[in-house]
Amino acid sequence: MNSKLIAALAATATALMVTACGDSGSTTSPSSPPSPGSAAQAAGNSTASVDGKEFDAKFETTCAEQGGILALALTDTANATYGTLSVSASLQGDTVQAVAFAGSQGGANGLPYAVGYGNGAPGGSAELAKDGNTYRITGEGVSAPDSTNPLAGPSTVKFDVTFACSTIVGA
The DSSP-derived string for 29-86 is: --SS--STT-S---TT--EEEETTEE----PEEEEEEETTEEEEEEEEEEETTTEEEE
Q: Say which residues have a Cβ less than 8 Å from residue 92's Cβ, sequence separation at least 6.
A: 68, 69, 70
- pLDDT value at residue 44: 65
Q: Say which residues have a Cβ less than 8 Å from residue 158's Cβ, sequence separation at least 6.
A: 50, 51, 52, 138, 139, 140
Q: Any idea where the domains of the chain sit in the sequence?
A: 2-33+46-164
Q: What is the pLDDT along the chain (171 residues), one digit of tens a residue?
A: 444 443 444 444 433 333 333 343 433 333 333 333 323 333 469 999 999 999 999 999 999 999 999 999 999 999 999 999 999 999 999 999 999 999 999 988 788 999 999 998 887 899 999 999 999 999 999 988 777 777 877 789 999 999 999 999 997
Assign 3-class secondary structure to 15-35.
Answer: HHHCHHHCECCCCCCCCCCCC
- Cα–Cα–Cα angle for 26, 54, 63, nearest 5°? 45
Please state the φ and ψ torsions of residue 94, each to the nearest 5 degrees.
-100, 15
166 bridge partner residues: none
- pLDDT value at residue 89: 98
Please count the CA atoms within 13 angstroms of the CA of 21 that sit on its side-chain side: 15
**Burial of 68: CB neighbours in 10 Å, binned 0-12, 13-18, 19+:** exposed
pTM of the predicted model as reported, rounded to 2 decimal places: 0.75
- pLDDT value at residue 102: 96
- pLDDT value at residue 29: 33
